């Protein structure tokens, strides 16, 4: 394993592969048939007696012995990395910083070794309190709360946006660990994963939040009663934000923030949308769900606001703030500033 990543690591067409010898006779450089693409950083020599001396790249693609060698060599590399992670955490951490993002291509490309690759993954986490990717999935599962059935994670552009996401508020309150994913490949990778050791993955920014047995029946009953009390407020907000959101509902995932935006279970995440838009790709039109914290003073005041025009302006400000907190960009920043300035002038009058 090289100590440093080469400059062309992300060029999938760059020269790569192992040196091939047959019966100690040099055959070719950069034989890329012997390792999968997510292990393209590995350097080495293959010396085999199972291939003929007149082997060519075309023959390599058809020879059954190559598939056997590829399987054996992939297993050897993954076992070598597993041993390194177990015996020398500091050295493995250095390796992960250089090549971790490439290894994240593995679960989608190599289903047969998916479990082994997942054990090699390292993530930042709310448990450690810093941006270093040092938490393994096995460590996460060992710390799971009683009754917790899912591995929770959040995807963001950077560490600060991830750790300060309003979606994490209920998890802090319940002391439930959440993985913080900030690499550009993360959202694509998580779209290929479903579970690990019987625990399914859950993006905390998508779908309705269900903490399962971590929440008591009394808490769930209280949440239902609180939601009913705000039915009137929900119906007032819906026509105001009808073009921006697909639905408005009460949430219990927030403790400090007044509102947040939630995506549908199968909607494309914000990080992936930005990547595709930057590449000139068309992205599907989707609207988020606007969730309100019924216990926040701003939501209580909004419910009591009699002036419909002022009510509309305040609702739009809350929506824009939720979009900023999620790491998104406002469609009309100047309109948001105008509304905010108007509110500030009213408060100072």
pLDDT of residue 104: 94
Q: Which domain holds residue 126?
A: 98-203
The pLDDT tens digits of the residues spanning 177-208 come to 999 999 989 998 998 898 999 999 999 998 88
pLDDT of residue 177: 95
The pLDDT tens digits of the residues spanning 276-292 come to 777 787 877 888 999 99
State pTM to two decimals.
Answer: 0.87
My answer on whether 297 and 240 are in the same domain is yes
- The residue assigned the tokens 């009754």 is 147
* Local confidence band at 215 (pLDDT 50, 70, 90 cut-offs): low
pLDDT of residue 136: 95
Partners of residue 272 on adjacent β-strands: none
Report if residue 244 sits inside a domain: yes
Report if residue 248 sits inside a domain: yes
* 174 contacts: CB under 8 Å, gap ≥ 6: 145, 211, 214
CATH, residue 64: 3.30.230.80
Report if residue 6 sits inside a domain: no
How many separate domains does the chain show?
A: 3
The answer to whether the beta carbons of residues 25 and 48 sit under 8 Å apart is: no
My answer on whether 220 and 324 are in the same domain is yes
Q: Is the pLDDT of residue 320 over 80?
A: yes
The pLDDT tens digits of the residues spanning 59-109 come to 676 778 888 889 999 999 999 999 999 999 999 999 999 999 999 999 999
Report if residue 5 sits inside a domain: no
**What's the CA gap between 287 and 241, in Å, rounded?**
11
Tell me how far CA of residue 256 lies from CA of 172, 260, 294, in angstroms: 11, 11, 11
My answer on whether 103 and 190 are in the same domain is yes
Q: Is the pLDDT of residue 35 over 80?
A: yes
Q: Is the pLDDT of residue 212 over 70?
A: no
Averaged pLDDT for residues 130-155: 93
Lookup: tokens for 341: 């300035």
**What's the CA gap between 267 and 286, in Å, rounded?**
7
Averaged pLDDT for residues 32-58: 84
Show which of 86, 107, 122 is a domain's final residue: 86
The answer to whether the beta carbons of residues 230 and 292 sit under 8 Å apart is: yes
pLDDT of residue 58: 65
My answer on whether 190 and 227 are in the same domain is no
Mean pLDDT of the chain: 88
């Amino acid at each position: 394993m090289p100590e440093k990543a080469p400059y062309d690591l992300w060029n999938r067409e760059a020269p790569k592969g192992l040196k091939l010898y047959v019966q100690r006779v040099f055959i070719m450089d950069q034989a890329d048939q012997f390792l999968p693409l997510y292990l393209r950083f590995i350097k080495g020599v293959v010396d085999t007696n199972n291939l003929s001396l007149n082997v060519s790249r075309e023959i390599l693609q058809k020879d059954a012995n190559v598939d056997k060698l590829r399987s054996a060599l992939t297993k050897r590399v993954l076992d070598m990395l597993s041993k390194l992670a177990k015996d020398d955490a500091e050295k493995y951490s250095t390796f992960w910083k250089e090549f971790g993002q490439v290894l994240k291509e593995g679960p989608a490309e190599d289903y047969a070794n998916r479990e082994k690759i997942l054990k090699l993954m390292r993530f930042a986490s709310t448990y450690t309190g810093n941006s270093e990717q040092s938490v393994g999935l096995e460590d996460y599962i060992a710390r799971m709360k009683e009754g917790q059935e899912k591995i929770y994670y959040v995807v963001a552009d950077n560490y600060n946006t991830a750790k300060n996401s309003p979606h994490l508020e209920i998890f802090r309150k319940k002391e439930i660990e959440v993985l913080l994913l900030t690499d550009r490949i993360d959202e694509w990778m998580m779209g290929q994963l479903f579970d690990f050791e019987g625990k399914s993955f859950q993006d905390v920014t998508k779908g309705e939040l269900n903490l399962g047995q971590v929440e008591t029946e009394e808490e769930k009953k209280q949440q239902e009663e609180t939601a009913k009390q705000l039915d009137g407020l929900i119906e007032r907000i819906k026509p105001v934000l009808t073009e921006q959101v697909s639905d408005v509902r009460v949430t219990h995932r927030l403790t400090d923030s007044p509102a947040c935006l939630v995506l549908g279970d199968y909607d494309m995440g914000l990080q992936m949308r930005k990547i595709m838009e930057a590449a000139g790709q068309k992205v599907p039109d989707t609207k988020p769900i606007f969730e309100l914290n019924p216990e926040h003073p701003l939501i209580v005041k909004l419910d009591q606001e009699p002036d419909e025009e002022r009510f509309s302006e305040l609702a739009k400000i809350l929506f824009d703030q939720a979009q900023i907190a999620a790491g998104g960009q406002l469609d009309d920043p100047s309109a948001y500033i105008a509304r905010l300035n108007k509110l500030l002038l009213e408060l100072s009058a």
